Amino acid sequence: MRALIVVMDSVGIGGALDAARYGDEGADTVGHIADACAAGRADSDQRQGPLQVPYLTALGLGEACERATGRKPPGLQRRAGAGAAFGHAHELSRGKDTPSGHWEIAGVPVPFDWGYFPKAVPTFPPELIRQLCASAGLPGILGNRHASGTEIMAELGEAHIETGQPICYTSADSVFQIAAHEQAFGLERLYRLCEAARPLVDRFNIGRVIARPFVGETPADFRRTANRRDYAVPPPDSTILDVATAEQRHVVTIGKIADIFAHRGTGHNLKGENNDVLFTRMLEGIAMLGDGGLIFANFVDFDTLYGHRRDVAGYARALEAFDARLPELLNALRSDDLLVITADHGCDPTWGGSDHTRESVPVLIANGRTAGPIGARSSFADIGATVAAHLQISPTRHGRVFW
């Protein structure tokens, strides 16, 4: 008897009840990607035609979308398989960021508003930058504004290499991001800089400091590496990870989960450079997972490579590649295991700007015993509550069990 929580980062399905508050009314990541595929607007050398995700569809993705928005997207018209349990969940936390979504999935809705940097240029308080430069011996910084990470890297990467000044920027999320060249600046030096920045941004209630290392020699070949590291504040309450660890259950986390939870209760962490490698690491984690153990996995490429870059064809291709590997996951399950596939927010690649979108998320369940709809869940925390009940560990403070 084991449990797996698998987060398809940013794979929202529209229909958030409070989307208008965030300027996202009508955003629908899966639905709009499926529409684009059906209309031929997502064709590329790597993929053609309607969205093909038969295993997610068999688990009930089409039904989850229909319950969230009132329609089944094209390509997801097949009925869910006889053994599928499915639904969708709304977020209680007041944000559409990565920590809020993941913490709520783990049973801890965020009860406060995060701090955000203004869209003015420069965006960071002068005293913050002065203290950062003084603490790290920096001649100054570049950027100092809201920006797309890939765009600002291409724009300022050469100046960064020439001057030794790191590129500091933010987004609509509660983040302070620092990009630096792995060789010219140094990866360990970048990590130390982020560690210095973490306490400096605490007074602004910033959720994460993110190290964004990159390599390359010119804007044409600059690329971010898999050595990203997030420095997050810890969750404000005990998560399902804390509970499982306290009760001496085997915990394995995949990808950036350990960073998101500030390495609290995250057990044995397995990382990888992309979704495909992360999937393989997850299968390794399942093979080592003891009875009563928990796996918590994040697949980040949907968000960072395609959602934020508004790459519809790339996002569709990533969904299809993930789906193609699902039989490996399903075949690795025991009859008494619980698998929940979900998301933490949306990042509709057809939407304006480059930020996350406030959406409900799919909740697709495989456990060999329960099938059918689980309804509209009022909080992502229902996932953590259900996992705790399945593993027969102490309940989380928030959330209601699915059945």
Q: Copy the structure tokens of residue 254.
A: 């995949």
Give residue-wise pLDDT tens across range 317-347: 999 999 999 999 999 999 999 999 999 999 9
CATH topology of domain 126-231: Alpha-Beta Plaits (3.30.70)
Strands 251-254 and 294-299: parallel
Q: Are 14 and 27 in contact (CB under 8 A)?
A: yes
Structure tokens at 378: 């009022």
The pLDDT tens digits of the residues spanning 361-373 come to: 999 999 866 778 9
Q: Is 385 exposed, middle or buried (0-12, 13-18, 19+ CB in 10 A)?
A: buried
Within 10 angstroms of residue 81's Cβ, the number of other Cβ atoms is 15
CA distance 315 to 224: 18
Q: 126-231: same fold as 3-112+236-391?
A: no
Fold of 3-112+236-391: Alkaline Phosphatase, subunit A (3.40.720)
Give how far Cα 341 sits from Cα of 81, 88, 158, Å.
15, 11, 41
pTM across the whole model: 0.92
What pLDDT digit, counting tens, does each position of 141-161 carry?
999 999 988 899 999 999 999
User: Where are the chain's structural domains?
Assistant: 3-112+236-391, 126-231
pLDDT value at 305 more than 80:
yes
Tens digit of pLDDT for each residue in 220-278? 999 999 899 999 999 999 999 999 999 999 999 999 999 999 999 999 999 999 999 99
**388 has pLDDT over 70:** yes
**Beta strands 85-89; 361-366: pairing state:** antiparallel
